[in-house]
Copies of this chain bind each other. A is one copy, B any other.
Amino acid sequence: MADVLKGNIVANKIKEQIKKDIQNLKQFNKIPRLAIVRLGYNPGDISYEKSIIKNCDNVGIESKVYEIDENIKTEELVELIEKLNKDNEISGILVFRPLPKHIDEDVIRNVISPKKDVDCMHPLNLENIFEGKIDGFAPCTPKAAMEILNYYSIPLEGKNVVIVNRSMVVGKPLAMMLLEENATVTICHSRTKNLSEFTKNADIVVVALGNAKFFDESYFTEKSIVIDIGVSLDENGKLSGDVNYDRVLSLVDKITPVPGGVGSVTTSVLLRQVVLACKNM
C-alpha cells in the first residue's frame, strides 16, 4: 500500500510559519493585506475566493475583494490595478484568471506591480522562475508540489522526474524548480508518444491533465512516487485527480490524494507570498 502524501499537514506547517512572520511584521506596524480582483461570478472563482478569505482570516492576513462587472474594459481594469499598485495599504494583488475574452490579459499582467504580484503573472517574475530564481513570487501550484516533495523528504538530486503538463502555470515553472534541485526533468504533453514508457521509467511522476482517472496502473511501477495535480469531475460528478487512485494506491510507493493533496497546499503558498510582499514593502 502506498504512502499517502497528504497536503493538509504541509499546509499547516506553512501556515504556522506565516503566523510567526505576521507577528514579527506587527513590530514594524506592517499588516499583510491581499486585494482579490474578481470579474463576474464564476463559481470556481467564488469557491477559491471563499477558501482564500477563510485562510487569510485564520493566519491574520487582511483581505479585500474587488468584485468587478465582467464587462469592464481593459483600460478600466488597468486603472484599478494601477490604483492598487500605489495603495500603501495593499501588499499583494491577486487577479482571478482566466479573464473574460475581451480583456487583454497581456496588458493586465504587465501592469501589475512585480512587487505585489503574489500570483506570479508579471513577465519579470516569470522570467525569474525561468532562470531558477524560485524564492520570490512563484506560480502557486507547482510551488505547492515542491513543498510536498520537500516536506516528505523525497530526494530530487539526480532523480528522473517526468511532468505531464507544459503550461506556464504548472509544467514549465515546475520543470525549472526541479532543475534547481538537480533533478533530470522530462516534459511530456498531449503529443508525447508512448507516455507510459516515460512515466514507468521515472522515479517521480507529476501529472496535471485535468482528465479524471486517466492514469491507471499501466503507467506506474512499485517504485513510482506520484504527484497528482489534476482536478476534474469523474463520471459520477465527484472531484477526482488525473490518477485512478483506487487502482493505483496498492501498486505505487507514494501518492498524493485528490482532494487533499497539492490543491490543499496552494492557498498556503499564496498567503506566504502575500507576507513576502508585505515584508518587502
Residues of A within 8 A of B (CB): 123-124, 126-131, 157-158, 160, 166, 168, 172, 175-176, 179, 182, 184-189, 191-193, 198
Contact = CB atoms under 8 A, between A and B. Distances in A.
B193 A158 contact: yes
18 contacts: A123-B127, A126-B127, A126-B130, A127-B127, A157-B191, A158-B191, A160-B193, A172-B176, A175-B187, A179-B189, A182-B189, A184-B187, A184-B189, A184-B191, A184-B192, A185-B186, A185-B187, A186-B187
B131 A168 contact: yes
A179 to B, nearest CB: 5
A245 to B, nearest CB: 25
Nearest to A182: B191
A184 B188 contact: yes
Given A175-B187, A185-B187, 9 more contacts: A123-B124, A123-B127, A126-B127, A126-B130, A127-B127, A127-B130, A131-B168, A158-B193, A185-B186
Contact of A193 (B179, B184, B187): B184
A179 B176 CA distance: 14
Nearest to A156: B191
B176 A198 contact: no
Contact of A124 (B124, B188, B192): B124
A158 to B, nearest CB: 4
B184 A186 contact: yes
A176 to B, nearest CB: 7
A185 B187 CA distance: 5
Contacts of A193: 158, 160, 184
Contacts of A130: 126-127, 129-130, 168, 172
Nearest to A126: B127
